[in-house]
């Protein structure tokens, strides 16, 4: 069972990363310094919550938003982890996925947060981090 403290620990261990209050509705978000968010707190409310309930779905709480590499990566993640990963109409056309944080395995959470960070990090920083950890650039 994952929590925002786990996200915080993973994210802040990555180079050139900062936490800010000010993501969606002034909730915590993790960003590449001087750059875009790669993970953020994103409760499901309003029309999106009604849309999910009409389908018999529950977003759970808390919910984490992450960036993905594109529409194909989004579809693959949603298909591979249907209990954990979901989307809402608000994210149609966006390379982002929502995660039911309490259902995410810690290893999967780490992988997804790092992958999201790699998409937003400066290329040189990402390459250096991958090399330092013995990982090949994809």
Residue 58 has pLDDT above 90, yes or no: no
Express each pLDDT in 13-27 by its tens digit: 999 999 998 766 778
Does 62 sit behind a cis peptide bond, omega within 30 degrees of 0 on the bond before it?
A: yes
Distance CA(64)–CA(99), nearest Å, equals 5
Report the chain's terminal Cα–Cα distance, integer Å.
29
How many CA within 13 A on the CB side of residue 85?
Answer: 20
Asked whether the beta carbons of 50 and 96 are under 8 A apart, the reply is no
Query: What percent of the chain is modeled with pLDDT above 70?
Result: 96
- pTM of the predicted structure, to 2 decimals: 0.92
Distance CA(99)–CA(61), nearest Å, equals 9
Map out the domains of the chain with their CATH numbers. 4-124 (3.90.1150.30)
Express each pLDDT in 82-129 by its tens digit: 999 999 999 999 999 999 999 999 999 999 999 999 999 999 999 999
């Amino acid at each position: 069972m994952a929590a925002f403290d786990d996200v915080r620990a993973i994210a802040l261990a990555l180079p050139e990363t900062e936490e800010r209050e000010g993501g969606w509705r002034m909730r915590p978000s993790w960003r590449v310094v001087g750059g875009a968010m790669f993970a953020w707190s994103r409760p499901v409310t309003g029309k999106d919550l009604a849309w999910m309930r009409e389908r018999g779905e529950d977003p759970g709480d808390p919910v984490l938003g992450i960036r993905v590499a594109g529409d194909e990566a989004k579809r693959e993640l949603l298909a591979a982890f249907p209990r954990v990963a979901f989307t809402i109409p608000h994210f149609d056309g966006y390379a982002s996925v929502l995660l039911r944080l309490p259902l995410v395995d810690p290893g999967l959470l780490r992988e997804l947060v790092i992958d999201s960070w790699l998409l937003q990090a400066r290329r040189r920083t990402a390459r250096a981090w991958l090399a330092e950890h013995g990982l090949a650039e994809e």
